[in-house]
């Protein structure tokens, strides 16, 4: 990790949550054609976002998750080893990917629309504030008004090998989406 323990920056929505969910998607965000119920994002991401086997695949070890909460967005969990992974359940702004398109896109140095991840629209981005280029967040819309973020900070070895943090974060997002689909029974 190169001494960096920051997690990808969360981008809170600036619009109030009231009646906002009836006006999504907006700001160029795609519609979620086959949404999951918002209830799949209930609970602690440390317990439900990634399995121990998945953490071992990503980080090479199974560190203890550190729960957190991002005001205006929802619960999150961080796992730290040589690399770091963060998963946030964005449930409080009721904007889904629309908030990411509106708020994060103008503040990015990298903006990549991914092919559907487990059937859900997704975008990866690197904040202009990330001078090292080793941090990427992938936001996945599981419904028009809710989403989750999978953030990844490259290990020093992966950074030296010029690994793409957004590709790796997209793999993490795919794992989380698979787990959420299983939780929903779909």
What does the pLDDT read at residue 22? Answer: 62
Pairing of strands 135-143, 84-90: unpaired
Q: Comparing 13-27, 73-87, 121-135, which segment has the lowest mean pLDDT?
A: 13-27
What does the pLDDT read at residue 15? Answer: 39
Cα-based distances in Å from 148 to 31, 41, 100, 158, 160: 15, 8, 11, 24, 28
Average pLDDT over residues 66-80: 95
Answer whether 0.75 is exceeded by the pTM: yes
130 band by pLDDT with thresholds 50, 70 and 90: confident
DSSP 100: I
What CATH number should be reported for the domain whose range is 27-184?
3.40.1000
Rounded Cα distance between 168 and 16, Å, is 33
């Amino acid at each position: 990790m190169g001494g960096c323990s920051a997690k990808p920056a969360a981008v809170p929505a600036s619009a109030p949550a009231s009646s906002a969910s009836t006006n999504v998607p907006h700001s160029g965000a795609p519609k979620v054609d086959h949404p999951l119920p918002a209830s799949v994002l209930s609970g602690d991401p440390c317990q439900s976002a990634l399995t121990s086997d998945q953490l071992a695949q990503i980080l090479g070890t199974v560190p203890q998750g550190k729960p957190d909460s991002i005001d205006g967005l929802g619960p999150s969990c961080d796992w730290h080893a040589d690399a770091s992974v963060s998963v946030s359940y964005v449930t409080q702004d009721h904007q889904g990917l629309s908030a990411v398109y509106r708020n994060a896109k103008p503040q990015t140095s990298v903006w990549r629309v991914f092919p559907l991840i487990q059937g859900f629209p997704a975008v990866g981005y690197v904040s202009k504030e990330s001078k090292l280029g080793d941090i990427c967040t992938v936001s996945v819309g599981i419904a028009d008004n809710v989403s989750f973020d999978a953030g990844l900070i490259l290990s020093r070895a992966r950074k030296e090998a010029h690994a793409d943090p957004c590709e790796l974060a997209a793999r993490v997002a795919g794992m989380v989406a698979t787990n959420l689909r299983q939780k929903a029974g779909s």
